[in-house]
Structure 1
Amino acid sequence: MTARSSEIDSILQRGADGGRISPEEALLLYTEAPFHALGEAADAVRRRRYPDGIVTYLIDRNINYTNVCVTACKFCAFYRAPKHAEGWSHPMEEILRRCAEAVELGATQVMLQGGHHPEYGVEYYEELFATVKAAYPQLAIHSIGPSEILHMAKVSGVSIEEAIVRIKAAGLDSIAGAGAEMLPDRPRTAIAPLKESGARWLEVMEQAHRLGVESTATMMMGTGETNAERIEHLRMIRDVQDRTGGFRAFIPWTYQPENNHLKGRTQATTLEYLRLIAVARLFFHNVAHLQASWLTTGKEAGQLSLHMGVDDLGSIMLEENVISSAGARHRSNLHELIWMIRSAGRIPAQRDTLYRHLAVHHTPADDPVDDRVVSHFSSIALPGGGARASLPLVDSR
Structure 2
Amino acid sequence: MIHTVHPKLNPIREKVEAGERLTLDDGLLMYDPEVPVNDLGQLANLVRERKNGNKAYYNINTHLNATNVCVYRCIFCAFRSDLRSDKGYAMNDAQILARGKEAVENGCTELHVVGGLHHQRKFEWYRDLLKIIHDEYPKLHLKAWTAVEINWFEFLTKRPTAEILEELREAGLGSMPGGGAEIFHPEVRDQICEHKADGNNWIHIHRTAHNLGIRTNCTMLYGHVEKPLHRIDHLMRLRELQDETGGFQTFIPLAFHPENTGLDHIKKPSAVEDLRTMAISRLMLDNIDHMKAYWIMLGIGTAQTALSYGADDLDGTVRHELIYHDAGATTPEFLSVEKLENLIREAGREPVERDTIYRKVIRNSSDPTDWQIGEEVEVAV
Same fold (TM over 0.5): yes
| Alignment deviations for residues 180-219 of structure 1 (CA, whole Å, 9 cap, x no partner) | 1111111111111221211221111111111221100011
In the alignment, is the contact (CA less than 8 A) between 1:118 and 1:155 conserved in 2?
no
Instruction: Report what 1:281 is aligned to.
Output: 282
| Alignment deviations for residues 319-366 of structure 1 (CA, whole Å, 9 cap, x no partner) | 101111011121233222211100111111111001112159xxxxx9
Provide structure 1 residue ranges, at least 5 long, that are not aligned to the other structure: 361-365, 371-397
Report how far residue 178 of structure 1 moved: 1.2
State the TM-score, normalizing by the size of structure 2: 0.90
Pair 1:62-2:63 in alignment:
yes
1:15-164 paired onto structure 2 within 5 Å:
15-31=16-32, 32-51=34-53, 53-164=54-165
Distance in 2 (CA, whole Å) between partners of 1:114 and 1:296 is: 17
Instruction: Report what 2:360 is aligned to.
Output: 357
- SS of the aligned residue for 2:218 comes to strand
In the alignment, is the contact (CA less than 8 A) between 1:122 and 1:167 conserved in 2?
no
Report how many residues are paired: 361
Residue from 334, 337, 341 that aligns with 1:334: 337
Distance in 2 (CA, whole Å) between partners of 1:129 and 1:112 is: 9
Distance in 2 (CA, whole Å) between partners of 1:13 and 1:336 is: 38
Q: Which amino acid aligns with 1:46?
A: R
In the alignment, is the contact (CA less than 8 A) between 2:40 and 2:276 conserved in 1?
yes
Q: Which amino acid aligns with 2:160?
A: S
- SS of the aligned residue for 1:209 comes to helix
Report how far residue 235 of structure 1 moved: 1.0
In the alignment, is the contact (CA less than 8 A) between 1:26 and 1:283 conserved in 2?
yes
Distance in 1 (CA, whole Å) between partners of 2:72 and 2:359 is: 36
- SS of the aligned residue for 1:57 comes to strand
Q: Which moved more, 1:198-207 or 1:143-152?
A: 198-207
Distance in 2 (CA, whole Å) between partners of 1:286 and 1:278 is: 15
Instruction: Report what 1:193 is aligned to.
Output: 194
Distance in 2 (CA, whole Å) between partners of 1:199 and 1:322 is: 24
Pair 1:312-2:303 in alignment:
no
- SS of the aligned residue for 1:281 comes to helix
| Alignment deviations for residues 375-396 of structure 1 (CA, whole Å, 9 cap, x no partner) | xxxxxxxxxxxxxxxxxxxxxx
In the alignment, is the contact (CA less than 8 A) between 1:338 and 1:348 conserved in 2?
yes
Report how far residue 111 of structure 1 moved: 1.1
Pair 1:204-2:205 in alignment:
yes
State the TM-score, normalizing by the size of structure 1: 0.86
| Alignment deviations for residues 258-314 of structure 1 (CA, whole Å, 9 cap, x no partner) | 212111424322111101111111111110100002211211111110111111111
- SS of the aligned residue for 1:71 comes to coil
In the alignment, is the contact (CA less than 8 A) between 2:8 and 2:35 conserved in 1?
no
Distance in 2 (CA, whole Å) between partners of 1:84 and 1:55 is: 42
Distance in 2 (CA, whole Å) between partners of 1:205 and 1:135 is: 28
Distance in 2 (CA, whole Å) between partners of 1:190 and 1:304 is: 32
Q: Which amino acid aligns with 2:61?
A: D
1:174-323 paired onto structure 2 within 5 Å:
174-323=175-324
Report how far residue 368 of structure 1 moved: 8.8
- SS of the aligned residue for 1:129 comes to helix
Distance in 1 (CA, whole Å) between partners of 2:96 and 2:302 is: 33
- SS of the aligned residue for 1:317 comes to coil
Instruction: Report what 1:375 is aligned to.
Output: none
Instruction: Report what 1:343 is aligned to.
Output: 346
Distance in 2 (CA, whole Å) between partners of 1:67 and 1:196 is: 18
Instruction: Report what 2:166 is aligned to.
Output: 165
Q: Which amino acid aligns with 2:346?
A: S
Change (3 A) 1:356 1:368: farther
| Alignment deviations for residues 28-75 of structure 1 (CA, whole Å, 9 cap, x no partner) | 123243322211111111111123x11011111111111110011111
In the alignment, is the contact (CA less than 8 A) between 2:6 and 2:36 conserved in 1?
no
Distance in 1 (CA, whole Å) between partners of 2:119 and 2:243 is: 35
Provide the aligned C-alpha RMSD in A.
Answer: 2.0
Distance in 2 (CA, whole Å) between partners of 1:351 and 1:205 is: 22
Q: Which amino acid aligns with 1:242?
A: D
Distance in 1 (CA, whole Å) between partners of 2:318 and 2:358 is: 16
| Alignment deviations for residues 83-132 of structure 1 (CA, whole Å, 9 cap, x no partner) | 33432110111111011111111110001111011133432222111111
Q: Which amino acid aligns with 1:197?
A: D
- SS of the aligned residue for 1:141 comes to strand
Q: Which amino acid aligns with 2:155?
A: K
Q: Which amino acid aligns with 2:126?
A: Y
